Structure 1
Amino acid sequence: MLSKKTQYAFHALIHLAENSDKGPILISEIAKEKNISIKFLENILLELKNAGILGSKKGKGGGYYLMRTPKEIPLARIIRLLDGPIALLPCVSLNYYERCENCRDETICGLHEVMSRVRDASLKILENKTLKDLVHKSPA
């Protein structure tokens, strides 16, 4: 399940993508538009900035902006950055692997096998879908 933090990050990123033609966007505008606490949003946007997804500009005309186009920002990257592993079990995680304490042998564990398949199916979608896929289409 996506955390509130990650959900808010996606809402903020969508807002930035939809308004990218306006230049940097103030945190207060995003917070008001998406009904997110400014303090919580500040932390989220700072994490995204530190990861190179967002840039920021101080002073008049300042705010946050996307460092890449929406089609260059995979959903899996945002989820991993803010929520950690996409896998439902640590023993099937590609980036955060940990052996399960109560498992004798992963090679014969049915749960491991099924959760590996769930991970693969999720990753197939999340690594191939981008922020662009979340952006609302303007009516023609």
Structure 2
Amino acid sequence: MRLTCRSEYALLALVYLARHQGETFIPVPAIAAAQGIPPKFLEQILLSLRLAKYLHSSKGKNGGFRLAKPADTITLAEIIRLFDGALAPTESASKYFYEPTPIEKEGKLLALFKEVRDYLSDKMERTTIADVA
């Protein structure tokens, strides 16, 4: 698994919003400035998070974004999967994004990659945005 900028920025934005949960909607420029994210890129990411029902948005003078779910119910795994796909090091070791790969020819290698997947997946599934906020 390798994180893309999209998933890293999504996690940073969610952590920021979790720290400001309970406040009104947070404008994109405030999130972008606080987390060092290019505003136009952040807008695209926040739209994806809104469409996936992790965020609520509001337009206008006091518009912006806020969490649609409690931060302790949003796992790192689900956000990474949303933007980057499988947590497994290879698609043939993936539970949710399985695709055949050449590594399947060697059972011990595949078994090792599945162990790596299980460790990583377990850790990411148990860690929420609230845990890191």
Q: Report TM bin, short chain.
A: over 0.9
1: CA distance, partners of 2:117 / 2:129: 20
1:133 aligned residue: 131
TM-score by length of 2: 0.94
> In structure 2, do the counterparts of structure 1 residues 102 and 121 end up closer, same or farther at CA, with 3 Å as the change threshold?
closer
Against the structure 1 CA distance between its residues 123 and 103, is the aligned structure 2 distance closer, same or farther, given a 3 Å change threshold? closer
Deviations 1:46-67 (A, max 9, x none): 1111101111011132110100
Query: In 2 relative to 1, CA 102–124 (structure 1 residues): closer, same or farther, beyond 3 Å?
Result: closer
Aligned pairs, how many?
Answer: 132
Structure of greater Rg: 1
Q: Equivalent residue for 2:25?
A: 24
1:111 aligned residue: 109
RMSD value over aligned CA atoms? 1.2
Deviation at 1:27, TM superposition (A): 0.4
Q: Which position in structure 2 is the counterpart of 1:76? A: 77
What letter is aligned with 1:55? H
CA distance in structure 2 between the aligned counterparts of 1:21 and 1:103, rounded to whole angstroms: 48
Percent identity, aligned pairs only? 36
What are the within-5 Å matches in structure 2 for residues 1-140 of structure 1?
1-101=2-102, 103-104=104-105, 109-135=107-133
Is 2:28–2:42's contact at 8 Å kept on the other side of the alignment? yes
Q: Detail structure 1 runs of 4+ shifted over 6 Å in the superposition.
A: none
> What do residues 52-88 of structure 1 show as CA deviations (whole Å, max 9, x unaligned)?
1111011132110100111010110000001111000
Q: Which amino acid aligns with 2:84?
A: D
- What residue identity is the alignment partner of 2:117? R
The two structures have a TM-score, normalised by structure 1, of 0.89
